[in-house]
Amino acid sequence: MRALRQVSHEGPKDLTYVEDVEVPTPGPGEVLLRVTSAGVNFADVSQTYGIYDGGPDAPYIAGFEVTGEIVGGDGEVGKHVIGFGNGAFAEYTVAPAAALMPIPEGWRDEQALGLVLNWATALAALKPLGRLAEGETVLIHAAAGGVGQAAVRMAKHYGARVIATASPAKHEAVRALGADVVLDYHGDQEGVAAAVNELGGADLVLESVGGETFAASLAAAKPVVGRVVVFGAVAGNASVSNWELIFKYRVSVIGLHIGALPQHAPEVYGWIMSEIERLREEGVYLPNDPTIYKLRDGARALKDLEGRGTVGKLAIVP
Ligand SMILES: NC(=O)c1ccc[n+]([C@@H]2O[C@H](COP(=O)([O-])OP(=O)(O)OC[C@H]3O[C@@H](n4cnc5c(N)ncnc54)[C@H](OP(=O)(O)O)[C@@H]3O)[C@@H](O)[C@H]2O)c1
């Protein structure tokens, strides 16, 4: 079958289109999917450098977020589903049957990309972990991105005031989602923290950027009551000392990895999934309109994501 194979730890430039891959065989509790689309996530970029904790070692068939038709294994043949399958940038992949979700009625498969990753992560950060309440202010970084767009839509739905950050070329798209204030955060992290504090400070910060932005996020959160949910490090690792937490920032810092929820907090994960279903019924969660790349051009999707040139969700179709 055709697929994208990562052949080094030197980034997306070595994500290589190949035609010589064997169709995988599903094991117990797994299904074989004919891939209809695969979601591109920042984690895919991190994996190509070998810096995603627990990620695969090169060479490997890349991609993990998938929609497809069940064609074999422990599942209902012919059903279209979304889930996680290592090696999703391919014509076929295997996926654990237990983690599959049906494609919402009337949606094309690729329109459901983001359901189990972007929306679940954004919702976990906002509600069960971030405890966002109506009338509060939330600072959402990378708000034009896959997770960011979902977060803005939900935060507005829950009655929050949204301060968003994004590259200037993406501000219009973020405003269209309903953000109240949009800031550029390039090169002036202190300026971002000062701007947020002038607006009264943030009750909640969705911290997915890291690097120099991390300190700005801590400084933008309201002392004592502010929460900073940390779930991404696209600009690099960052740290905070116990002294800084006690005497400088005085905020709550909360780590989030969505993959840990089904195992360590199944009731929280269950609530997230049913809340997403409710948001879909209420028209808050609408079908996605991802930017589509052909499998042959898949490396470009990861390069564009890494280069901050993208808005919203990206998909690779075989
Ligand atoms: N912990 C979890 O469970 C979990 C799950 C899903 C996603 N995530 C994280 O959530 C974040 C968003 O993921 P996504 O897949 O939806 O990606 P994305 O937001 O669509 O893309 C990343 C965005 O981050 C911004 N950015 C800021 N500094 C950057 C830098 N130095 N290099 C590259 N981009 C930079 C860019 O937006 P601007 O150009 O507007 O700045 C870029 O478009 C990532 O940190 C990802 O790792 C975490």
Amino acid at 138: V
How long, in residues, is the chain? Answer: 318
Q: How would you classify the pairing of strands 3-6 and 161-165?
A: unpaired
Alpha carbon of 1 to ligand 1 centroid (Å): 31
- Alpha-carbon span 218 to 247, nearest angstrom: 12
Q: Cα separation of 202 and 135, whole Å?
A: 11
Ligand 1 interacting residues, C-beta cut-off 6 A: 41-43, 117-118, 121, 142, 144-148, 166-167, 170, 208-209, 231-232, 234-235, 256-258, 305-306, 308, 310
Distance 264 CA to ligand 1 centre (A): 24
Joined tokens for residue 241: 């000392």
How confident is the model at residue 188, as a pLDDT? 80
**In 3-state terms, what secondary structure has residue 261?**
helix
Identify whether the C-beta of residue 213 lies closer than 8 Å to the C-beta of residue 189.
Answer: yes
Nearest CA to ligand 1 atom 40: 166
- Collapsing DSSP states into helix, strand and coil, what is residue 215? helix
Report residue 148's pLDDT band, with 50, 70 and 90 as the boundaries.
Answer: very high
**Gap between the Cα atoms of 74 and 277, Å rounded:** 24
CATH architecture of 3-113+288-317: Alpha-Beta Complex (3.90)
Domain definitions of the chain by residue range: 3-113+288-317, 118-259
Choice from 234, 254, 288 to test ligand 1 binding pocket (greatest atom count within 8 A of CB): 234
Please indicate whether the domains covering 3-113+288-317 and 118-259 agree at the CATH topology level. Answer: yes
Q: Which residues contact residue 109 at a Cβ distance below 8 angstroms, ignoring those fewer than 6 apart?
A: 36, 37, 67, 68, 80, 82, 103
Quick one: tokens of 156?
């507005």
What distance in angstroms lies between residue 26's CA and the mean position of ligand 1's atoms?
32
What one-character-per-residue DSSP string does 58-97 give? SSEE---EEEEEEEEESS-TT-EEEEE-SS-SBSEEEEEG
pLDDT for 186: 80
pLDDT band at residue 189 using 50, 70 and 90 as cut-offs: confident
pLDDT tens-place string over residues 54-94 = 899 999 999 999 999 999 999 999 999 999 989 999 999 99
CA angle 62, 64, 67 (to 5 degrees): 120
Instruction: Give the separation between CA 153 and CA 162, rounded to whole angstroms.
Output: 9
Paired tokens of 219: 């400084």
Using CB atoms within 10 A of its CB, is residue 19 exposed (0-12), middle (13-18) or buried (19+)?
exposed
pLDDT at 187 over 80: no
What is the third-level CATH fold of 118-259?
Answer: Quinone Oxidoreductase; Chain A, domain 1 (3.90.180)
Query: Which residue has the CA at smallest separation from atom 18 of ligand 1?
Result: 145
Task: Give yes or no for residue 41 having a pLDDT over 90.
Answer: yes
Q: Which two tokens stand for residue 170?
A: 């993406």
**Position in ligand 1 atom list of the atom nearest CA 232:** 45
Give per-residue pLDDT as tens, 84-129: 989 999 999 999 999 899 999 999 999 999 999 999 999 999 999 9
pLDDT of residue 190: 86
Report which protein residue has its CA nearest ligand 1's atom 19. Answer: 145
Closest CA to 229 of 251, 250, 260: 251
What are the tens digits of pLDDT across the range 19-35? 999 999 999 999 999 99
Instruction: Please give the pLDDT value at position 298.
Output: 97
pLDDT tens digit string along 241-261?
A: 999 999 999 999 999 999 999
Give the whole-angstrom CA distance, residue 263 versus residue 218.
Answer: 29
71: tokens are 């064609």
Structure confidence by residue, pLDDT tens digits, 257-302: 999 999 999 999 999 999 999 999 999 999 999 999 999 999 999 9
Q: Which 8-state DSSP code applies to residue 131?
A: -
Measured distance CA(150)–CA(308) in Å, rounded:
18
Is it the case that residue 238 has pLDDT exceeding 90? yes
